[in-house]
């Protein structure tokens, strides 16, 4: 191979940062290199990254393989010990051109491979400017990084550090560049995006940032949030939901569970009632809003009754896009020291929760049939409605926006008949 290839795992923030990494490495003059941007949210994510690294080495025996991301930050020595790996960069180092200029040559010791500093010492998130995100029709912008909360199951704060926000002016500049580059939709991303602004002068909120973007960059046709913690939703955000048609009617919630005792043991800051109240408030303001949610099955100490509360919350809330994680103990987290459930039971509950999610998805798809929807066409013969439902649009050009009548669905995505461009 020649040039730079990037393999990305995990969240949309990683997708954005992978383009920053590519630009930094190219600016440094790196060539014949594979950058692996890892995720640490589950043990399975780490396993998949290690598998990808081995495969990349088999297929590219002479390339330089550089591993970074959250798993590299939290398990740096394990990756440095892999013979396939030439260098390990931390989450802060991966974004800097200087890191790629100073990479060690082949054949160095494991200690010299490591370029991973203490992420908890990082106090600011520098603005990162990119003009495109390869392979994507929607553009992502990092507005925040890190997390000040310590949910008992989560290793991510140790991979990302404490919460820090990108100044509002820098976010506006990045959005303007992306809109000028032809992106019709922008997604604001962060590790704990709704904590945005707490470390900035005047403590602006995520909702105020979104309002400012839409006002100052009128070329943005569709604005989304990647994931939010509903307990942190502010008044500006609720105003957008109610009154701003360019703010898309879809929210992905970090729910994690539906039982109050498990939520307390997870050290979450919301209750079951808080979640249901927020969803009801949003639907009252904008009835067409759809919801996605992350939920964990098989958390330590979870009884069958507690698990039933998780399933019933998803049903009562009408979650259209349910993202289920079987609980995965992460070394160094409090939950890993709690009484664990049998792995077979964890997998069985995750399968049941996913089955609930599929039923809810079908109900949501049924409700969309016969409606008029505006679609943004992606690269793969699919499009997204404003409320983030997939629609089959074979033969249509990427980035096109069109109006269509929804005619049916196949259980996974909608079908349509075009009515306007």
| Residues present in the chain in total | 421
Q: What Rg do the C-alpha atoms of the chain give, in angstroms? A: 22
Please give, one letter per residue, the 3-state secondary structure of 210-277: HHHHHHHCCCCCEEEECCECHHHCCHHHHHHHHHCCCECCEEEEEEECCCHHHHHHHCCCCCHHHHHH
For residue 90, the SS3 value is coil
Neighbouring residues of 89: CB distance < 8 A, sequence distance ≥ 6: 66, 67, 68, 72, 99, 115, 116
What pLDDT was estimated at residue 93? 86
Which candidate, 326, 416, 335, places its Cα nearest to that of 374?
416
Q: Which residues in the chain land under pLDDT 50?
A: 106-110
Q: Which domains does the chain have, with CATH numbers?
A: 4-117 (3.40.50.12160), 138-366 (3.80.30.20), 371-418 (no CATH)
Structure tokens at 398: 């990427």
Predicted TM-score of the model (pTM): 0.85
Q: Distance of alpha carbon 257 from its chain centroid, rounded?
A: 18
pLDDT tens by residue, 236-283: 999 999 999 999 999 999 999 999 999 999 999 999 999 999 999 999
Structure tokens at 352: 């049941």
Structure tokens at 151: 């949910």
Torsion angle in degrees (nearest 10) through CA of 24, 26, 32, 36: 30
- Tell me if 165 sits within 8 A of 206, measured CB to CB: no
| CA–CA distance, 112 with 101 (Å, rounded to integer) | 14
What pLDDT was estimated at residue 108? 47
Give the position of tokens 């998780």.
310
- As a whole number, the mean pLDDT across the chain is 90
| CA–CA distance, 334 with 265 (Å, rounded to integer) | 9
Torsion over CA: 192, 155, 201, 278 (sign)? positive
| CA–CA distance, 193 with 329 (Å, rounded to integer) | 24
Which candidate, 63, 61, 5, places its Cα nearest to that of 35?
5
Q: How many CB atoms lie within 10 A of CB 388?
A: 18
For residue 126, the SS3 value is coil
- Tell me if 249 sits within 8 A of 292, measured CB to CB: no
Find residue 4's DSSP bridge partners.
Answer: 33
What pLDDT was estimated at residue 260? 98
Structure tokens at 220: 């943005």
| CA–CA distance, 285 with 290 (Å, rounded to integer) | 12
87: part of which helix (H) or strand (E)? strand 87-89
Q: How many CB atoms lie within 10 A of CB 169?
A: 11
| CA–CA distance, 251 with 388 (Å, rounded to integer) | 9
């Amino acid at each position: 191979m020649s040039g730079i290839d990037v393999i990305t795992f995990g969240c949309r923030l990683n997708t954005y940062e992978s383009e920053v990494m590519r630009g930094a490495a190219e600016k440094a003059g790196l060539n014949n290199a594979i950058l692996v941007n890892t995720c640490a949210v589950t043990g399975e994510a780490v396993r998949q990254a290690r598998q990808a690294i081995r495969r990349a080495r088999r297929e590219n025996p002479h390339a330089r393989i550089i591993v970074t991301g959250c798993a590299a930050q939290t398990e740096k020595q394990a990756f440095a010990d892999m013979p396939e790996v030439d260098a390990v960069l931390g989450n802060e180092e991966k974004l800097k051109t200087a890191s790629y200029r100073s990479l060690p040559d082949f054949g160095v010791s494991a200690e010299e491979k490591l370029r991973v500093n203490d992420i908890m010492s990082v106090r600011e998130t520098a603005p990162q400017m990119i003009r495109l995100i390869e392979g994507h029709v929607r553009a992502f912008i990092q507005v925040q990084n890190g997390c000040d909360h310590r949910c008992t199951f989560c290793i991510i704060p140790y991979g990302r550090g404490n919460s820090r926000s990108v100044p509002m002016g820098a976010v506006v500049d990045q959005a303007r560049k992306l809109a000028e580059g032809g992106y019709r939709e922008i997604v604001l991303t962060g590790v704990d995006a709704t904590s945005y602004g707490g470390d900035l002068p005047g403590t602006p909120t995520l909702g105020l940032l979104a309002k400012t973007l839409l006002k100052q960059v009128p070329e943005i046709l569709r604005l989304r949030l990647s994931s939010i913690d509903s307990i942190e939703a502010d008044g500006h955000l609720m105003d957008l939901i109610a009154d701003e048609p360019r703010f898309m009617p879809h929210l992905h919630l970090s729910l994690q569970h539906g039982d109050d005792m498990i939520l307390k043991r997870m050290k979450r800051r919301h209750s079951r009632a808080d979640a249901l109240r927020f969803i009801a408030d949003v639907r009252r303001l904008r009835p067409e809003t759809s919801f996605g949610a992350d939920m964990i099955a098989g958390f330590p100490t979870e009884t069958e009754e507690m698990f039933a509360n998780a399933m019933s919350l998803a049903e009562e809330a009408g979650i259209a896009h349910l993202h289920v994680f079987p609980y995965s103990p992460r070394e160094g987290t409090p939950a890993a020291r709690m009484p664990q459930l049998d792995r077979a039971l964890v997998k069985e509950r995750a399968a049941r929760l996913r089955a609930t999610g599929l039923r809810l998805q079908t109900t949501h798809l049924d409700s969309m049939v016969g409606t008029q929807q505006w679609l943004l066409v992606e690269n793969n013969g699919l499009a997204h409605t404003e409320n983030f439902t997939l629609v089959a649009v074979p033969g249509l050009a990427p980035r096109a926006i069109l109006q269509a009548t929804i005619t049916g669905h196949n259980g996974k995505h909608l079908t349509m008949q075009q009515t306007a461009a």
